[in-house]
Amino acid sequence: GRTRSHGRNEDSFYSNAEGYWKDVPPTVDGMLGGYGSISSIDINGSKAFLQKFLGEGEGKTGSGCALDCGAGIGRISKRLLLPLFQTVDLVDVTQEFLDKARPYLGEEAKRVGHFFCCGLQDFVPESGRYDVIWIQWVIGHLTDNHLVEFLRRCRSALRPNGLIVIKDNVSYEGVVPDEVDSSVCRDLDIVRSLVGRAGLRIVHEEQQVNFPKEIYQVHTLALR
């Protein structure tokens, strides 16, 4: 894996990303970098993935409370999490997106517990609060060490039988930087090793199908 030196480089890695998102329109198309058309395919894949774990019975994950990490305007909260969970919290670094989330979620915004405006590198989720922590298209905005530390904090924030889900682009090999939004794309082996460093194990993993050929493969990992 690759580590970033602390200090100025790391500061600009985060501040450049914040600057990028401040200029993005608060729309589904903005959230998905112009690929708004894949939103339904994405949500349907996620729903099928998540439903393997939810339900009644031994070892099943509860449906009380979920956390949407890097939530943006709440695209995933609206179509995936709010239909399945009683309460959903959203966390995002861009206040304008969270402001837009209320009207975008409509009537269902009543069931949002908290709108947290915070970068994930600084966010401390409440201990023992969440059945599911959903982390989609945002791990590339964290340095390796910050990602490991964030996943450790997420682990402490889970309820019994709780689940952390990472859904993200994976590169073919190594770490590929994206200068445009100041993020990185890691290969699966690196993601797996960071998950292990956080003291989590992968209980299920699959590739999202039917996405456009030209974008990175997207993989979904369930962690406990």
Q: Is residue 47 one of the residues assigned to a domain?
A: yes
Q: What's the average model confidence in pLDDT over 167-183? A: 97
pTM for this entry: 0.96
| pLDDT for 170 | 98
Lowest average pLDDT, out of 7-21, 125-139, 187-201, goes to 7-21
Q: Is residue 189's pLDDT more than 90? A: yes
Q: Is residue 8's pLDDT more than 80? A: no
Q: Is residue 46's pLDDT more than 90? A: yes
Q: Tell which wins on pLDDT, 181 or 4.
A: 181
Q: Is residue 1 one of the residues assigned to a domain?
A: no
Q: Is residue 110 one of the residues assigned to a domain?
A: yes
Q: Tell which wins on pLDDT, 1 or 91.
A: 91
Q: Is residue 46 one of the residues assigned to a domain?
A: yes
| pLDDT for 5 | 47
| pLDDT for 205 | 98
Give the Cα separation of 14 and 217 in Å (integer): 24
Domain extent at residue 183: 8-223
pLDDT tens, position by position, 62-76: 999 999 999 999 999
Q: What's the average model confidence in pLDDT over 18-45? A: 97
CB 178 within 8 A of CB 185: yes
Q: Is 70 annotated as a binding residue?
A: yes
Q: Is 75 annotated as a binding residue?
A: yes
Q: Is residue 122 one of the residues assigned to a domain?
A: yes
- Domain of residue 192, CATH code: 3.40.50.150
Contacts of 218 (CB under 8 A, 6+ apart): 42, 167, 168, 169, 170, 207, 208, 211
Burial profile 32-65: b = 16 or more Cβ within 10 angstroms, e = fewer: beebeebbeebbebbeebbeebbeeeeeebbbeb
Distance between first and last Cα of the chain? 22
Give the Cα separation of 39 and 73 in Å (integer): 13
Q: Is 121 annotated as a binding residue?
A: yes
Q: What's the average model confidence in pLDDT over 8-37? A: 96
Q: Is residue 85's pLDDT more than 70? A: yes
Q: Is residue 81's pLDDT more than 80? A: yes
Q: What's the average model confidence in pLDDT over 106-113? A: 98
Q: Is residue 45's pLDDT more than 80? A: yes
Q: Is residue 31's pLDDT more than 70? A: yes
Give the Cα separation of 91 and 94 in Å (integer): 9
Q: Is residue 62 one of the residues assigned to a domain?
A: yes
Q: Is residue 47's pLDDT more than 60? A: yes
Q: What's the average model confidence in pLDDT over 152-178? A: 98
The one-character DSSP state at 80 is I
Q: What's the average model confidence in pLDDT over 121-142? A: 98
Q: What's the average model confidence in pLDDT over 161-172? A: 98
Q: Is 92 annotated as a binding residue?
A: yes
| pLDDT for 220 | 98
| pLDDT for 1 | 45
H or E, element range at 117? strand 112-117
Q: Is residue 2 one of the residues assigned to a domain?
A: no
Q: Is residue 3 one of the residues assigned to a domain?
A: no
Instruction: Count how many domains the chain has.
Output: 1
CB 132 within 8 A of CB 157: no
